[in-house]
Amino acid sequence: MRIMLPLRRWSIACAAFGLACVTATCVAPQRAADVAVFASGADLESANPLVTIHPLSRQVQRHMLFVPLARYGATLEPEPYGARAWTWSADRRRLELALEPSLRWHDGQPTTAHDVAFTLDAARNPAVGYMRAGDLAAVTAVRAVDDSTVIIDFSAPQASLPLVLCELPMLPRHLLGAVPPEGMRGAPFNLAPVGNGPFRFVERIAGQRWRFERNEAFPAALGGPPALAGVVIAVVDEATTKFAGLASGELDVAGISPTMASLAARDPSLRVLSYPVLFTTALIFNVGRAPFDDVRVRRAFDLALDRERIVRAAVAGYATAAGSPAPPENPLALELRPRLDGAAADALLDAAGWRRGAGGLRTRDGRPLRVELLTVGSGDNAVEQLIQADLAARGVRVEIRQVELGTMLAEARAESRRYDLLYTGIPGDLSLAYLSAMFDSRQAGGALDYAGYHTPRLDSLFAHARSAGAGESRDAWHAVQRELGEQLPAAWIYHARGVQGIAARLQNVEMDLRGELATVARWQLATTP
C-alpha cells in the first residue's frame, strides 16, 4: 500500500486532466482553473437517459448534459424548466406545454417540440426498454403543434404533471431518430452525446473520466451559463484513494466511507456533507423456490435482522433502518418501522416445518436449512456478514457468494433464478416508479425485476397508484407499500444517507433527494479556501 497509494493518487490527476505521465518521477500537474473534479465509484453507464439505470449517470443527464421539461424544486414539487409553462384542458386529459424557444442543442440545432415528441414516443416503445415506461402508460399521443408547442394526450384525467417529465430529459431527434428502437442501447450517441444543457460533453476515456465544459450559450431564461468552466467525472473506485484525492486537492467532491467522515471533518481544507439519498438496500428473496416460497419463512428472516446494529456497524450510523422501500423523506413514503423479534422468527420457522437441532435448523426428515446469499464482491461485505450472523442466531446457515456486478445482474434478471437470497442496493426515485419495475408483472423482465414476485392484487394496486389523482396518490402508494410489507418479497435493510467530502473552496453545493448534482450549475470554486 505504501507504493500503490501515491500511484493511484497520480492516476486521479491523470484521469482528471488528461495528462500523460512518462516516468514515476513526474511533477504533479497544475489544477485547471474553475474546473471541479467529481469522483465516481464506477464509469458512467451511458449518456442516453432512455437506456440508463446508474444513478449518477442519470443525474449527469438531467442536471448537466440535457434539459428535462420540468425539474424538482427545493420542495420536491415540479417547476418549469425546458417547458416554461403548461396548461391542462378542462377534463385534464390533455396537457399543452410551451417550450423555451431559445434552447439549442450543442451542435447549434434548435431544440423543438419535435424532439419532445420523439423522446416520449421512444420512451413508450417497449423495444427501447426505458425503465420508467410504466409512468407513461396513460399517454395515448404526443404531438408537436409547432416548434415551441407540444400536446400530450392521456387516456384518463391527470391530477398533476407526471413526475417522469422531471426525470426524462429531451433528446435530439435529428441525431437519434434513425436509430431503431431495439438498437437504442448500443447507439454511438450514448458514449459521445450532444446535449442541450448547461454543460456540453467534451470527451470520454473509458474507465477514467468524462469531461464536460460550460455551455456559454445556455439560455438566461433557464439560468444562463453555469459558474464553473467545466466538470470532470473521474472514475475512482477505492475509498482510500478517494480520501487521498480529497486530502491532496486532486478531487473536489468524493463520496467517502462513513467510517472516514470524522477524519475528514478534522481537515480544514474539507467539509463533510450528509444528506438523504434515493438508495435503499434490500435482501431479495427468491420466491420461486423453497424455502422462500413460504411467506412465513420470509417473515421469519425479516424479523431476525438487527437493522440498527447493521447501520451502526456497517455504515457508522449514516443510514436509516428500513421497514419499507421508500426513505422517510420521500413524500410518498409509508413509514413502517422494522421489527427485531427473534422469538417470533423462531415460531414462524417452527410453523413452517423447520426444527432446531444439532448444527441448526432441519426439516422433519433431517434436511438442514442452508441458503446462499448472492452479492457483489466489494470491500469487506460487512452488511452481508452481519446478516449471516443474525440468521445464524436463528439456526440458519448462510453461505455468502461474491461475484462481480455484471454476473450479479445477469443472475438476478435471469428467467430462471437460481439464487436463494440476493443482497443489493436499489436506486429509487421520488415517484416510486422503481417499485413498478421491481414487482409489477407488466414490467416483468425490467431492469430491477430481481424478485420475480407478481400477483394480480399487487398489479391492481400498482395500476391504481400510477393513475391516482393528486388527492389519492399518497394513499394509493401507501397501499402498495403495505402489500409489499405483508407479502415480503424483499426485506428492506436501510435507507442510505450520502456522505460526501467536499473541498472547502467549492461553494454553493447543496445535496438532497434530488441528487448530488442538483445544484451543479451554481457551484463555484473560490481562489482561496
- Distance (Å, whole) CA 106 – CA 479: 44
Strands 230-235 and 35-40 come out as parallel
- pLDDT > 70 fraction of the chain, expressed in percent and rounded: 91
Query: What average pLDDT does the segment 85-96 reach?
Result: 96
Query: What average pLDDT does the segment 95-121 reach?
Result: 98
Q: Which residue has the cell 448472492?
A: 374
Q: Which residue has the cell 451502526?
A: 312
Q: Is the pLDDT of residue 292 over 60?
A: yes
Q: Is the pLDDT of residue 9 over 60?
A: no
Nearest to 480 by CA among 453, 462, 463: 462
The band of 283, judged by pLDDT with boundaries at 50, 70 and 90, is: very high
- Would you say the C-alpha torsion 205, 211, 217, 223 has a positive or negative sign? positive
Strands 490-503 and 319-321 come out as antiparallel
Residues in contact with 336: Cβ distance below 8 Å, sequence separation at least 6, in sequence order: 323, 324, 481, 482, 485
- pLDDT > 90 fraction of the chain, expressed in percent and rounded: 63
Specify the pLDDT at position 406.
79
User: Which regions of the chain carry the CATH code 3.10.105.10?
Assistant: 276-497
Residue-wise pLDDT for 496-517, tens only, equals 999 999 999 999 999 998 999 9
Q: What's the CATH number for 276-497? A: 3.10.105.10
Residue-wise pLDDT for 124-171, tens only, equals 999 999 988 888 989 999 999 999 999 999 998 887 899 899 999 999
Specify the pLDDT at position 5.
30
Specify the pLDDT at position 436.
77
Q: What's the CATH number for 68-174? A: 3.90.76.10
User: Which regions of the chain carry the CATH code 3.90.76.10?
Assistant: 68-174
Query: Average pLDDT, whole number, for the chain?
Result: 87
Q: Is the pLDDT of residue 376 over 60?
A: yes
Residue-wise pLDDT for 310-331, tens only, equals 999 998 899 999 999 998 888 8
Specify the pLDDT at position 441.
55
Q: Which residue has the cell 424532439?
A: 115
Q: Structurally, what CATH architecture does the domain formed by 1-66+197-252+505-529 represent?
A: 3-Layer(aba) Sandwich (3.40)
Specify the pLDDT at position 434.
79
Q: Is the pLDDT of residue 473 over 90?
A: no
User: Which regions of the chain carry the CATH code 3.40.190.10?
Assistant: 1-66+197-252+505-529
- Distance (Å, whole) CA 8 – CA 4: 6
Phi, psi of 91 (to 5 degrees): -90, 5
Indicate the pTM of the whole model: 0.75
Residues in contact with 161: Cβ distance below 8 Å, sequence separation at least 6, in sequence order: 70, 78, 86, 95
What is the helix (H) or strand (E) element at residue 186, kind and residue range? none
Specify the pLDDT at position 474.
86
- Would you say the C-alpha torsion 281, 286, 291, 297 has a positive or negative sign? positive
Residue-wise pLDDT for 233-252, tens only, equals 999 988 889 999 999 999 99
**How many C-beta atoms surround the C-beta of residue 259 within 10 A?**
14
> Do residues 240 and 233 make contact, with C-beta atoms less than 8 angstroms apart?
no
Give the strands of the sheet with 83-88, arranged side by side. 83-88, 94-99, 149-154, 139-146
